[in-house]
Structure 1
Amino acid sequence: MANLKEVRNRIKSVSSTQQITKAMKMVSAAKLKRATNAIVQLRPYANKLKELLANLSQSLEDGSSPYLQEREPVRILVVVVSSNRGLAGAFNANVIKTANNLIAEKYPKQLAAGNVSIVAIGKKSQEYYERRKYNVIGNNNDLYLDLNFENASKITESIMDGFVKGKYDRVELVYNHFKNAAMQFLIAEQLLPVPKPDTKEQVKTAQVDYILEPSQEEIVEQLIPKNIKIQLYRAVLDSNASEHGARMTAMDKATENAGELLKALKLSYNQARQAAITTELTEIVSGAAALAG
């Protein structure tokens, strides 16, 4: 009977876990809807701004803007966008792994010299790199509490200021790109200096003719900082939507697994209960037969 009690306790425990995972799935689904709307609304603007800037900046020299200056990559800053909470499958582990691979493959000498710094957006990446004694700059975990362009711009302005002052020669951005609830793609791209468009983009944008007022230089001078802020903000929105999608998928799978485990436990409980009843009946019959004899 002790075995039956143990199985009953396990059934009760798994049932409680299943209710929690089901509730978390529903919460993530509701948050995912809002996060998806935010990133879907921003993407057309961000893409068009990037395309416009690529077209205008083709005729500019590298020294025309401090954010276009190519320098020897001695000091590297990697912006890692993760989440504040876990229970989202491999969401955080994958983005950290991608950032580590980027550093190991592109900047091994800078890492060995201690010239790689981290800006972590999200508690999971913050804790990971602090435990491993990286140079983690600032604490940006509160951004998700009030995620908007103004708050994200404060982080971007700090990064841009560091680049202009020569604290960093190159800034890399690593985040999850949201496609749908079940699919997120890891992206590692250069944020600063602003990368020049490739040949295909040049051909595509070469046919566009703009009437510029007051001047191309003044417009680009305002567009480049704004574009950098928009690109980082888009990365954070992408990561936020990806997090809720990953958590919803993980909790859905956990709920299914709990259901399968409950079936197995109930079967085991019924088998143990039937065996106990059979044993009791056998003892009663044997006792009655002994008395009759």
Structure 2
Amino acid sequence: MASLKEVRNRIVSVQSTQQITKAMKMVAAAKLRRAQDNIMRMRPYAQRLNSILSNLTAQVGEEMESDYTAQREVRRVLIIAITSDRGLAGAFNSNIFKAVNALIAQRYAAQAAAGNLTVLAIGKRAHEYFSKRGPILGNYTHVFGQLSFETVREAAEQAMEGFRTGQYDEVTMVYNEFKNVATQVVQTEQLLPLVPAAAPATSTATSNVDYIFEPSKEEIVQTLIPQSLKVQLYKAVLESNASEHGARMTAMDKATENAGELLKSLKLTYNRTRQAAITTEILEIVGGAEALAASR
């Protein structure tokens, strides 16, 4: 059985840890509100932009050609893996690692075996993990320090340029989509080549949209496609950012609860140890008194 001093030291240590996890939970909650507001404002814009692009491409039809819609044999692949800069967020980062590894095994095994698979890692955790396992495109460990469209645009443009020049035949994103504080869903989405979403057969909304084009349909579409791709990646980063704070808030809340349970157990152990020590002292005193009385 541990001594009273050892148990007391453990109690103090757990109490300190509990205070830290409580503080981290509060910080994550404050950051989550801002991140959630950002993604809620971004979603309607991204959806509307994709809708406009789908309408335009449907009207222009197959006559429209773009560097970002070219379908090629998939020989060289770029995977954009989005994680966080820090840990202590439960399985948030490890879920991305597992999803990327599963994607490679199921879809890109031949490309990986041939050394034609590259990862663009957004976030320090992804950079540290994938840099030990293969080629990394760029260094985007600074994105979440000052998260903005400008910081993400650089990564999007590098991926787009790689696809346009034929360096990559397919670009896929893997990230955590924010559902709520306790739920983050890993999403795997193809960024390039761009495949506009087809309108439902029962809906005539797309075909009935009547735009006035200036200067031309084709030129407008060629301008919207790069913008749409950048917005799509920026939205994924915002989703991941909100998911990170939600995951960390949940993890720290659970850690605080676990610390409380451990404190109860340690205090019970401390009291039992203290009672045993007192009982032992009383028995020693009584034994000494009886021995002294007998010697007289």
> TM-score, normalized by length of structure 1?
0.96
Larger displacement relative to structure 2 (71-80 or 200-209): 200-209
Larger displacement relative to structure 2 (23-32 or 192-201): 192-201
Match of 1:180 in 2: 180
Structure 2 CA distance for aligned equivalents of residues 257 and 52 of structure 1? 50
1:66-85 counterparts in 2 under 5 A? 66-85=67-86
> Structure 1 residues 46, 109: CA separation in 2 closer, same or farther (over 3 Å shift)?
same
For the Cα contact (< 8 Å) 2:177–2:186, is it kept in 1?
yes
Match of 1:21 in 2: 21
Could you list the per-position Cα deviations for residues 240-276 of structure 1 after superposition, in whole angstroms to 9, with x for gaps in the alignment?
0000000000000000000000000000000000010
Measured after TM superposition, the shift of residue 2 of structure 1 is: 6.5
Structure 1 CA distance for aligned equivalents of residues 98 and 202 of structure 2? 33
Measured after TM superposition, the shift of residue 210 of structure 1 is: 2.3
- Does 1:245 find its partner at 2:253? no
Structure 2 CA distance for aligned equivalents of residues 92 and 211 of structure 1? 44
Structure 2 CA distance for aligned equivalents of residues 174 and 20 of structure 1? 31
> Structure 1 residues 49, 79: CA separation in 2 closer, same or farther (over 3 Å shift)?
same
For the Cα contact (< 8 Å) 1:83–1:243, is it kept in 2?
yes
For the Cα contact (< 8 Å) 2:64–2:218, is it kept in 1?
no
Match of 1:286 in 2: 287
* Greater fraction helix: 1
Measured after TM superposition, the shift of residue 205 of structure 1 is: 4.6
Measured after TM superposition, the shift of residue 54 of structure 1 is: 1.4
For the Cα contact (< 8 Å) 2:81–2:174, is it kept in 1?
yes
For the Cα contact (< 8 Å) 2:53–2:196, is it kept in 1?
no
1:139-218 counterparts in 2 under 5 A? 139-198=139-198, 200=200, 203=203, 205-214=205-214, 215-218=216-219
For the Cα contact (< 8 Å) 1:14–1:258, is it kept in 2?
yes
Larger displacement relative to structure 2 (186-195 or 207-216): 207-216
Match of 2:227 in 1: 226
Letter in 2 for 1:189: E
Could you list the per-position Cα deviations for residues 84-114 of structure 1 after superposition, in whole angstroms to 9, with x for gaps in the alignment?
1000000000011111111111111111101
Larger displacement relative to structure 2 (256-265 or 57-66): 57-66
- Work out the percentage of aligned pairs sharing the same amino acid: 55
Structure 1 CA distance for aligned equivalents of residues 39 and 197 of structure 2? 23
Structure 1 gap ranges (5+): none
Match of 1:257 in 2: 258
1:3-22 counterparts in 2 under 5 A? 3-22=3-22
Q: CA RMSD in A?
A: 1.6
Match of 1:113 in 2: 114
Aligned length: 292
Could you list the per-position Cα deviations for residues 182-239 of structure 1 after superposition, in whole angstroms to 9, with x for gaps in the alignment?
1111100100011232463794653441223122111111111110000000000000
Structure 2 CA distance for aligned equivalents of residues 198 and 64 of structure 1? 17
Letter in 2 for 1:147: L
Structure 1 CA distance for aligned equivalents of residues 136 and 213 of structure 2? 42
Letter in 1 for 2:159: I
Structure 1 CA distance for aligned equivalents of residues 39 and 201 of structure 2? 23
Could you list the per-position Cα deviations for residues 21-58 of structure 1 after superposition, in whole angstroms to 9, with x for gaps in the alignment?
11100110111111111110110000111111112212
Letter in 2 for 1:289: E
Structure 1 CA distance for aligned equivalents of residues 131 and 159 of structure 2? 19
Letter in 2 for 1:290: A
Letter in 2 for 1:236: V
> Structure 1 residues 176, 3: CA separation in 2 closer, same or farther (over 3 Å shift)?
same
Letter in 2 for 1:11: I
> Structure 1 residues 78, 18: CA separation in 2 closer, same or farther (over 3 Å shift)?
same
Letter in 1 for 2:67: P
> Structure 1 residues 89, 202: CA separation in 2 closer, same or farther (over 3 Å shift)?
farther
Letter in 2 for 1:149: F
> TM-score, normalized by length of structure 2?
0.95
> Structure 1 residues 38, 126: CA separation in 2 closer, same or farther (over 3 Å shift)?
same
Match of 2:54 in 1: 54
Letter in 1 for 2:234: Y
Match of 2:271 in 1: 270
Secondary structure of 2:87 counterpart = coil
